[in-house]
Structure 1
Amino acid sequence: AGHPAPEAGDVALLQYTGGTTGEPKGAVLTHRNLRANAAQGRAWVPGLRDGAETVYAVLPLFHAYGLTLCLTFAVSIGATLVLFPRFDADQVLDAVRRRPPTFLPAVPPVYAKLATAARERGVDLTSIRYALSGAMSLPPATVELWEQVTGGLLVEGYGMTETSPITVGNPVAPTRRPGTVGVPFPSTDVRIVDPEDPSRDRAPGEAGELLVHGPQVFSGYWHRPEETAKVLLPGGWMRTGDIVTMDADGFITVVDRIKELIITGGFNVYPSEVEEALRRVPGVREAAAVGMPTDDGEEVVAAVVVDPAVAASPEAIRTSCRTHLAGYKVPRRVVIVDELPYSQIGKILRREVRERLLAGR
C-alpha cells in the first residue's frame, strides 16, 4: 500500500517564528490552514486566469508570506513560477524581458527599487497587473510610483506566520485604500478588543488589539502549551499583538505592535508614527524609534542612518521632528548609526536596535 494521503487536519508544516517575544517557536500549520489561505488568495484577486499567470518569487520561501503567495497560491492557480535566489533589481529586470510577470508579491522596498530601476533602464513592467505587499507598512508614495510605472494595482495586505499568513487585504480594485491594510479575507472574522482584557470589545473606531478567526488560523506552537494559551483564546480566536483601528466601512489600519509601544510620562507613543516623522527629515535615510528605560518609565530614543552629504545633526533632527509630532513623542535622544538591523525580509528589528542601544553599541 502507498503512503496514506494526509488528512485536512494533519500537520503540514512547522513554520518557525520569533513571534512577539523573539524566542523562535514552531507554528503548527495544517494542510487545511495552507490550502484555505491559498483558496482565500485565489478568491481575493478577480481576473486571475488559471494556467496563464506568471508569479515572480523574490520572497524567501522559508517565510510564511513567500510560502503561501509564491508556492501554494501560485501552484493552486497553475501559474508559471519564476524563482529568484534573492531580490536583485537587475536580475529581476533581465528576467522580465524573457518571461514577463503578471503577479508580484513583495515587500515595500522591493517595489520602490524595482520601479525606479525599470524607469532608469527603460524596462516595461506593464505586464504586472497585480502586486500584493505585506510584512511592513506600505508608503502611499511607493503605491503612486509603482502604479504609474506598471499601470497595475499595488495593494497592501496583513498577516502573521500563525495565520498561514494572510487575514486582511485591500480589495484588488480601485476601491483599495492606501494607508490601510484592508478588510478581512473571505471566511475570516475579526474583533478589536481591549488588550488588557480581550473579552471586552472596543467601541467602533476606537484603537484596540486585533483578534482574528478563520480556517487559516494555526492550532498552536509545537510543544509550547503556555505560549499557545497566551495567543489562542477559547473559540479559536488568535491574538495578533497588533493595535489597529477600523473605520465605518470595515477598513483596518495598523497602529503598532503592542510589545513595541513606548510609554513615556504616562502617554502611549507608537514607534511607527515617530519613525515616519524622522524619515521626513532631510538627510535621514532610515530610522527606528524605541523605548529606553529611565528612572520613572521610558523615553523615546531614535537610531537613524543619515546621508553623509547632508549634515543632519541629532539636534537638527529633533528640531525638525517637532513640526510633525506632539512634544512628548519627539525623541529625547537621536543616535546616528552606520546601519540598522533588518530581518531576512527587510523589516527593521526594533528589539535588536533597543538591545544595541542598551549595550552602548
Structure 2
Amino acid sequence: MSGARADAADASDADASAPVVPAPWLPRGLADAVAAAGERLARLGVRAGERVVLDTPTRARWAVLPYLLAADRLGAASLVADAGWTVRERDAVLADTAPHHVVGTDGGAATGPGGPRTPGVFLLPTTSGSTGGPAVLARDRRSWRLGFDALGALPGPVLVPGPPSSTLYLFGALHALHHGLGLDTRGRLDPADLPDGGTVHVVPAQLGALLDDRERRPGGPVPRVVVCGGAHVAPAVRERCARLLPGTTLLEYYGSAEHSLIATRRDDGPLRAVEDVRLTVRDGLLWVDSPQSVLGRFGAGVLHPSGPGPTTVGDRAELTADGGLIVLGRAAATVSTGGTLVAAEEVEQVLRAVPGVTDVVVAGTPHATLGMLVTAVVEARDGGPDRRALRAAARDGLSPAKRPRRWLLTRALPRLGSGQPARAEIAGGLRDGTLDAVPLGEPE
C-alpha cells in the first residue's frame, strides 16, 4: 500500500462511517456506476441504517457491486441474494433480515418489512449453508479492512471468478479495490482469463480445474499468485501446483463468514493465524478470538450481538508446538463408524489427489452394525477415475477405519453459489436415494 493510501486507511479506520472503499480509490468506470446506483437508491428512499437486499440476474451477477458500494456510501447495509437459494432458503433469509428495501439491479424494487435500523453495519453476509440453512450475519467496515490488510497487497490485475453472493469472492473483489489493483470479475473460472503476472481467487475445485487445463494445454497466462479458500488444499495438490505453475505462489487461507480471515499458508509452509487473531482448542473444537469477527446474527430483523471473547463455528482442529494450525474439518461433517470418528475433509483431501477426480464429498450412510459407512461421492472427469487408484490412495493415506467402504460416482456434485459442495443436500440425497450418483463398487 502506498504512503498516501496507508494514511487514508488510517483515517478511514478512525472514522467508522467512512465507506469500505473510498471513492477516490475506484477506477473511473466503476466510480460512475456507483454514482448512478447511488442516485437510484436515494430515489427509492434508502437511508442510513437500513437493510437492503440486492437481487441480480444470474447472467450478470457482478452488476450488484456498484449497488453494494453505493448503499455503503448511504450508510445502508447490503445483503447480496444468492440466485441458487431455494424458495424456502430465500424466504428464511428474508425473514431473518427483515429488509427495508429489496432492489433488483435489473430495475425491480420493493419495500420490505423494515423494523429497527442497524447503523454501523455495512454488509449482511450469509453462512454458506453447506451443512444447513444460511444464517444472516452483521459485519462492520473495520472488520473487513483488517482482513484486507492481513491478506496484504497482491500483484494485479486480480481475477475473481465466482458470484458476489459468496463472501469468498466478494472479499477478493473488495480486497483488490482496497489495494488499488485492477479488478476482473467473472461468473465462473475460464483458464483463458487468468491474469498473466496477476492474482486469481479460487476454491479447491477451481484450482483442480485450472491445473487440469495446464496439464492438457501447457502455456498460456500464468498468475503470480493463486489465492485459494473455501476448503483445504491437499498436499498432493500443492505439489502439483508447484510442478505445473513453478513461478506461482499458492496462498491458501482458512476463514469463515463469522470470523473472516483466520489463518494463511504460502506454498508448503504451515497454516498460521494472522495478526491479532488468537486461537484456542477446547475438546477438539477451534475457538477464535478476532477483531475481524462479525457483530452478531439477525433474526426477525433484530441484531443479536455476539458476546465478547472467542467463538466457534464447530471446526475440529489441532495447534502444533510451533504455533501452526491443523484444521480437521467441521464437526457436523464427521462420520461415526464402528466407534471411530472420521473427519470427512481428511478423507476428501486424500481422494482429491487421484487422477480423474474433480472433487469428492464424504458422508455417512446407515449400516446395520457399524452405525454409519464412510461413503465417498466422487465427481469425475474424463471418463472417471480408476477404482483401483481410489482404493490405493485410501490405503496409502488413511488408517483402515477412515477408508471409504462405499463408493459413488457422479458427473456433478450439487454445489452452493460459492462453488463449494452442498453437503446438506448431498447428505439428504444419500438418505432418500435421490442423489444423482451410481455405485462405483459394492459396499465392503
Residue 216 (1) aligns with residue 292 (2): yes
Residue 14 (1) aligns with residue 157 (2): no
Residue 154 (1) aligns with residue 250 (2): yes
CA distance in 2: counterparts of 1:295 and 1:329, whole angstroms = 18
SS at the partner of 1:244?
strand
Could you tell me which residue of structure 2 aligns to residue 78 of structure 1? 180
Deviations 1:147-200 (A, max 9, x none): 44251311211001112x211112x5xxx535x5x1111121111111xxxxxx
Could you tell me which residue of structure 2 aligns to residue 25 of structure 1? 135
Could you tell me which residue of structure 1 aligns to residue 313 of structure 2? 240
CA contact (8 A) 2:237 2:353 kept: no
CA contact (8 A) 1:157 1:166 kept: yes
CA distance in 2: counterparts of 1:261 and 1:227, whole angstroms = 31
Residue 58 (1) aligns with residue 161 (2): yes
- 1:97-176 alignment to 2 at 5 Å? 100-118=196-214, 120=217, 122-125=219-222, 128-148=223-243, 149=245, 151-163=247-259, 165-170=260-265, 172=266
Structure 2 stretches lacking a partner, 5+ long: 1-41, 49-72, 77-117, 435-444
Deviation at 1:309, TM superposition (A): 5.1
Task: Tell me which of 343, 346, 352 is aligned to 2:416.
Answer: 343
SS at the partner of 1:11?
coil
Could you tell me which residue of structure 2 aligns to residue 184 of structure 1? 273
Residue 290 (1) aligns with residue 392 (2): no
CA distance in 2: counterparts of 1:227 and 1:322, whole angstroms = 49
Farther-moved stretch of structure 1 (12-21 vs 76-85): 12-21
CA distance in 1: counterparts of 2:428 and 2:397, whole angstroms = 27
Deviations 1:246-278 (A, max 9, x none): 212211111111001111222111112333454
CA contact (8 A) 1:16 1:27 kept: yes
Deviations 1:27-64 (A, max 9, x none): 1111222222222223xx5xx58xxx321222322211
* Number of corresponding residues: 320
Could you tell me which residue of structure 2 aligns to residue 255 of structure 1? 328
Could you tell me which residue of structure 1 aligns to residue 375 of structure 2? 301
Structure 1 stretches lacking a partner, 5+ long: 195-207
CA distance in 2: counterparts of 1:212 and 1:133, whole angstroms = 21
Farther-moved stretch of structure 1 (258-267 vs 289-298): 289-298
Task: Tell me which of 245, 251, 268 is aligned to 2:341.
Answer: 268
What amino acid does structure 1 have at the position aligned with 2:164?
A: L
CA distance in 2: counterparts of 1:284 and 1:112, whole angstroms = 9
CA distance in 2: counterparts of 1:311 and 1:130, whole angstroms = 29
Change (3 A) 1:250 1:104: same
Task: Tell me which of 171, 181, 194 is aligned to 1:68.
Answer: 171
SS at the partner of 1:74?
helix
TM score, norm. by length of structure 1: 0.75
CA distance in 2: counterparts of 1:279 and 1:115, whole angstroms = 13
Change (3 A) 1:323 1:141: closer
Deviations 1:81-139 (A, max 9, x none): 1222321223x14xx4xxx45222222233343345356252141xx333221101113
TM score, norm. by length of structure 2: 0.62
CA distance in 1: counterparts of 2:214 and 2:398, whole angstroms = 36
CA contact (8 A) 1:211 1:237 kept: yes
